[in-house]
Chains A and B, each alone.
Chain A
């Protein structure tokens, strides 16, 4: 592994600002369970503080029990070390992460990957309430929920009744 100090890296002229470099480095880490999007696009990286080469990254976990949290924190730490920072990861719970923080680019990437991005706040729904979930493949709204919980805590399982393909829906929280 080639290790540059921050100033060496900056001289390469890729990014001419330490804070921007730290932000970009941390944000570009891929989500280990949904590797089509970065943690930046998911809105997990909340803030960055930089004092000389010591960078503090504030991350907001998606679900309380998300097993990816530790993997994401370690990946951010590793990437920052590679470009010469001394990283320090701080987990923040408040305000709680919400699917509203997923960027438009992130949403589009999820759709292309076959995961329908979140639609609206589910906490307001009553029993047997329905969300209008669009199939990521054929864009049909003729879909049905198979299970409230899918392959990861943040996704539900749906099936498209038009193209008959099953798909994941990124739940709204």
Chain B
């Protein structure tokens, strides 16, 4: 195993940590008490998966490193999450759509990862896939409720689709680092999920009276460390305690 696998694992781990942190930002701000519990709880699932992946990356690359080094001591340009997950929460409809896009993708991804030749990844996938099934249901049901709700909620869902859809293509692109491990049957091939992902999203959109965008607009860059300004703000807040007290333990 090598540093290349670490880099490929970091793409997955960063997606989960950043989206998990975005969900935690809803704590105390959600529109309903139930959602105030639901969103941070789903954030916990994502951060838990990120921790397993970072810990695995440490075992692969450098046993002296810990998950905290990856999460708290890297700068924006070293983060390799896709742009979708770092998008700010903006409003509830945006958050729900972002969750839907990501969780439908990850449910397919983890299901495929169950057939990986890497035992550790199979273990992480087994847990994560079950959790993703819940996330898909949560965001799917809300997408339908909002899309098929009032004219205001429908309008907000349409605005969310306009704002976020162009970030979804990045989910289906394999990086050079992961390519090595796809051919070895360790990591799943991201391109293979596109048809099923679109099918599922289209089914939900139809129920929600949302038109699936026909254009091929895309915005990329996250996997090579080119992020939006908002990631810097997120990291500043997420990393501040750790950086103030380096190496602190309790």
Nearest-Cβ distance from residue B138 to partner chain A, whole angstroms: 5
Question: Do A149 and B127 have beta carbons less than 8 Å apart?
Answer: no
Contact between B37 and A93, CB atoms less than 8 A apart: no
A171 to B37, CA, bound (A): 15
A93–B126 CB distance below 8 A: yes
Interface of A is mostly: loop
Q: Are the C-beta atoms of B44 and A153 separated by less than 8 Å?
A: yes
Give the number of chain B interface residues (Cβ < 8 Å): 36
Q: Is the interface of B mostly helix, strand, loop or mixed?
A: helix
Shortest distance from the beta carbon of A63 to any chain B beta carbon, whole Å: 6
Stretch at the interface among B1-9, B85-93, B128-136, B221-229: B128-136
For chain A, give the interface size range.
20 to 34
Q: Is the Cβ of A65 less than 8 Å from the Cβ of B130? A: no
A171→B133 CA distance, assembly (Å)? 12
In the complex with contacts A93-B123, A93-B126, A149-B38, A65-B140 CB distance below 8 A: no
Which residues of chain A are within 8 angstroms of B35 by Cβ–Cβ distance? Answer: 147
Whether A96 lies near B127 (C-beta < 8 A) is yes
Q: Is B184's beta carbon under 8 Å from chain A?
A: no
| A123 and B44 alpha carbons, distance in the complex (Å) | 19
Expressed in whole angstroms, the Cα–Cα distance for A129 and B137 within the complex equals: 9
Closest-CB distance, A65 to chain B (whole angstroms): 3
* Contact A63-B127, Cβ < 8 Å, known A127-B204, A147-B37, A150-B37: yes
In the complex, what distance in Å separates the CA atom of A149 from the CA atom of B40? 9
Per-position binary interface string of chain A over residues 80-117, scored 1 when its CB falls under 8 Å from any chain B CB and 0 otherwise: 00000000000011111110000000000000000000
Among the 9-residue stretches B45-53, B66-74, B189-197, the one with 4 or more Cβ atoms under 8 Å from chain A is B45-53
- Sort A-B residue pairs by CB-CB distance and give the 9 closest, nearest first: A65-B48, A64-B48, A93-B123, A94-B123, A65-B44, A147-B34, A96-B126, A123-B133, A149-B38
Can you list 10 A-B contacts with CB-CB less than 8 angstroms, sorted by A residue number? Answer: A64-B52, A64-B128, A65-B46, A127-B137, A127-B141, A147-B37, A147-B38, A148-B138, A153-B41, A173-B134
**Which A residues are within 8 Å of any B CB, using their own CB?**
61, 63-67, 92-98, 122-123, 125, 127-129, 146-153, 157, 171, 173
Question: Given known contacts A63-B44, A149-B41, what 8 new A-B pairs fall within 8 Å (CB)?
Answer: A64-B51, A64-B131, A67-B44, A94-B119, A94-B122, A94-B126, A127-B204, A148-B138
